[in-house]
Amino acid sequence: MNDFISEQEKEINFPLKLSGSKRRFIAFTILLSKFILVVIAIIILMMIIPKTRGIIVGSSIVNPIISNATSSCASVTISGIKNADITILESIIMDLCSDHTAYPTIKEIESSIKSYQWIKSVKISRKLLKSIAIKIVEYEPYLLWFNGDSINIVSDNGVMISINNLEQIQLTYPKVEYDGDIDHIMELIDIIKSFPITHATVDRIIFINDRRWNVIVNDIIIKMPEDNLTKAWERLAIIISKEWLSKDIEWVDLRIHNKIFIKYYE
């Protein structure tokens, strides 16, 4: 009997001097620790494998990324989209996640997304193993430029974004009709930025006879001079701020320095 007890104690490595109750308590503690470790492991696995699989914008799944668990991305959450085409971003992400053997790195995802013309900056974080969160910042449209047959959005620092469908953007900024190069557009942007009230009020800016601009505000034509455009724009800003543009005005002529000519509807 003593040999049997000794063998038991040796097998579980309990010192002979421990009482039976202490041995039972230690054995219970070991079993409880193992159980807790198993529960923790299950919880971690549940967190690593996302329940929702797809490209998520807000709370909507735009497109499922995978059909099985071997894909490198299970779910991708995108935030910050205003004007960018989600289908293009979706295509970029699908290409990155199509490799079933390797996870795309943060730098690879960032580089691919920043190649899209709307994206000014991107911040990417990996949530656990297969979930990716993407926060983008778009270039802010400042002007809509009609240049012959092409239509471009121009940001306040001169970045051009070509578009094919006007319905995809919010048309809340001046539209410029000018067949020429970007230099004249940048001059306009610099002037308008100096007088912010005009950016929020001007509807259209049209280049006339290859030498000067007409500005349209609430269907009223503002004739701008060929020279000293900044000074004329300052006068326009004052006119707008004073709310002098009434509906019975057909046009306002600012082409002569320190003079304003107004034509009323008959």
For the segment 95-122, what is each residue's pLDDT rounded down to a tens digit?
877 765 566 788 888 899 999 999 999 9
**In the predicted model, what is the mean pLDDT of residues 175-192?**
93
pLDDT at 18: 54
* Token pair in block for residue 13: 């490595």
Same domain, 184 and 154: yes
Same domain, 62 and 127: yes
What is d(CA 94, CA 63) in angstroms, rounded to the nearest whole number? 9
> Of 71-75, 126-130, 164-168, 202-206, where does the model show the most confidence?
202-206
Q: pLDDT tens for residues 11-46?
A: 445 454 556 676 777 777 888 888 888 888 777 665
- Whether 241 shows a pLDDT value over 70: the answer reads yes
**In the predicted model, what is the mean pLDDT of residues 193-203?**
94
What is d(CA 254, CA 197) in angstroms, rounded to the nearest whole number? 18
* Among candidate residues 130, 139, 134, the one with its CA nearest the CA of residue 69: 130
Same domain, 96 and 169: no
The answer to pTM > 0.85 is no
Same domain, 206 and 230: yes
Same domain, 153 and 191: yes
Same domain, 147 and 132: no
Same domain, 152 and 255: yes
**In the predicted model, what is the mean pLDDT of residues 175-204?**
94
Same domain, 187 and 254: yes
Same domain, 44 and 150: no
pLDDT at 107: 86
Same domain, 177 and 249: yes
Same domain, 207 and 255: yes
Residues 233 and 263: beta-carbon distance below 8 Å: no
Same domain, 225 and 145: yes
Give residue 21's domain range. 2-48
- Of 104, 121, 138, the residue at which a domain comes to its end is 138
Report how many domains make up the chain: 3
Residues 214 and 174: beta-carbon distance below 8 Å: no
- Whether 223 shows a pLDDT value over 80: the answer reads yes
